[in-house]
Chains A and B, each alone.
Chain A
Amino acid sequence: MSAATMIMRTLIPAAVGAIALLQPAWAEPAAEVRVTYSNGQFQPGVVSAPVDKPVVIHVRNLDAKALEFESTSLRVEKVVAAQSEVIVNVRALKPGRYEFYDDFNDKARGALVVE
């Protein structure tokens, strides 16, 4: 058995072990925000969330095409299949306006206002 094979045999269990150690972490209660997407637009266009609290954004896509919910400032990028809903986790935020958009359709824009 070559040294590389030996190392491979240690690497894989180590990686599997590391993944097994991860547990879904239940952090402090999050603020919930809902956004719906239909006819190529986010509804409502502006949503708000409290300061310094994790935010869970529910994005519901009512259209027949997929969208990619994306935001540079929120560090978020997630595909939402046609007629489905996804959950997007966001860390606790400082006050401000955080823009989001559909990466597949640059006309669809919205913002999360944290205050």
Chain B
Amino acid sequence: MLATLIIVFREVFEAGLIIGIVLAVTGSVPHRNSWIGGGVLTGIMAACVVAAFAGALSRLFEGMGQELFNAAILAIAVIMLTWHNVWMASHGRALAGELRAAGKAVADGNKSLLALAVVVGVAVLREGSEVALFLYGVLASDGGGSAVSLALGGLAGLVLGAGVCLLTYSGLMRIPPKALFATTTVLITLLAAGMATQAIAFLERANWLISLDRVAWDSGWLLSDRSIAGRTLHTLIGYTDQPTQMQLLVYVTVLLGTFLLMRLTASHPTGHGGPAVPTRAI
């Protein structure tokens, strides 16, 4: 049971962190729970589908299907996170003000929620498919004899994962509302940059990307990315103890790109034809 618990917890840990951040980011946006819940559910269903077809997925692209699939869904998450940040830079203040009730703002708000729901779904899908494969394997090989201990271990792992999500959320909610927007913007940007470097790692493993693939440094002696702290930082900011040059390049590019896009959109009034929204550069 303990082994099941540890493996399930390790997989849901990352999803828990990401969902906690998304919950804090969406704060008081109406209908956010159904969007995020929908993202989680869709992610779980997709995870089961991916797990069921894991063998077939592996055989795609000359054996590199898993790597390319992971790179693709990570890239989608990066685009969604970046889009959310840019959208918040241009609409966030409007949403926080009187326009919240206006139909247009709500419709736009739903678009941003959709982007974040996709991010949640992707996080659940990536971790969930491994949990599904693992649990199914244990069931198949033990003939269901250990079903109870398996269910208990799996459930306990899930509960711990939900605990991580709750801790992340409540921790972020302690930040004063004025500073919360800036904090979550930074968190989302780092999350996006981190996911982009993970996508690069998958492309490198698939041999689809071989330029600048030298390891820039090895900081494993300082902080291994297998330790709990290392895993947390891996999820939050994309920490890896042996980054390649390409990973570093992409990391910096995503950070700079987000910063520039946010500046560009924030400094122009939004063209909605509604009341002029005062905006200012960051």
Contact = CB atoms under 8 A, between A and B. Distances in A.
A19 B76 CA distance: 12
Interface residues of B, number: 50
Contact of B213 (A3, A4, A91, A103): A91
Contact of A2 (B82, B210, B270): B270
Contacts of A65: 136-138, 140-141
A104 B137 contact: yes
Interface of B: 3, 7, 54-55, 58-59, 61-64, 66-67, 72, 75, 79, 82-83, 86-87, 90-91, 108, 129-130, 133-134, 136-138, 140-141, 201, 203, 205-210, 213, 224, 226, 242, 261, 264-265, 268, 270-272
Nearest to B82: A11
B271 A1 contact: yes
Contacts of B62: 24, 87
Contacts of B224: 72
Contacts, number: 115
A15 B271 contact: no
Given A4-B91, A81-B58, A82-B137, A22 B203 contact: yes
29 contacts: A2-B87, A2-B270, A3-B271, A4-B83, A4-B87, A4-B90, A4-B91, A7-B261, A8-B83, A22-B208, A22-B209, A24-B62, A24-B207, A65-B138, A65-B140, A66-B134, A66-B137, A78-B66, A79-B130, A79-B133, A81-B133, A82-B137, A84-B58, A86-B58, A87-B63, A87-B64, A89-B64, A89-B206, A104-B134
A89 to B, nearest CB: 5
A76 B205 contact: yes
Interface residues of A, number: 39
Interface in A18-66: 19, 22-25, 27, 63-66
Interface in A70-115: 72, 75-76, 78-84, 86-89, 91, 103-104, 106
Interface of A: 1-4, 7-8, 11-12, 15, 19, 22-25, 27, 63-68, 72, 75-76, 78-84, 86-89, 91, 103-104, 106
A64 B137 contact: yes
B83 to A, nearest CB: 5
Given A64-B137, A72-B226, A23 B208 contact: yes
A88 to B, nearest CB: 8
Contacts of A24: 61-62, 64, 206-208
B63 A3 contact: no
B226 A27 contact: no
Q: Which 9 pairs across A and B sit closest by C-beta, in order of nearness?
A: A65-B137, A87-B63, A81-B55, A81-B54, A66-B133, A84-B55, A3-B265, A4-B87, A25-B210
A83 B55 CA distance: 8
A75 to B, nearest CB: 6
B86 A7 contact: yes
Contact of B141 (A3, A63, A91): A63
A86 B242 contact: no
Contacts of A78: 66-67, 205
A3 B270 contact: yes
Given A25-B210, A79-B54, A79-B129, 5 more contacts: A3-B268, A4-B91, A8-B83, A15-B75, A89-B206
Contact of B63 (A19, A27, A81, A86): A86
Q: Report which residue of A1, A25, A76, A83 has the largest number of chain B beta carbons within 10 angstroms of its beta carbon.
A: A25
B205 A19 contact: no
A89 B133 contact: no
Contacts of B3: 106
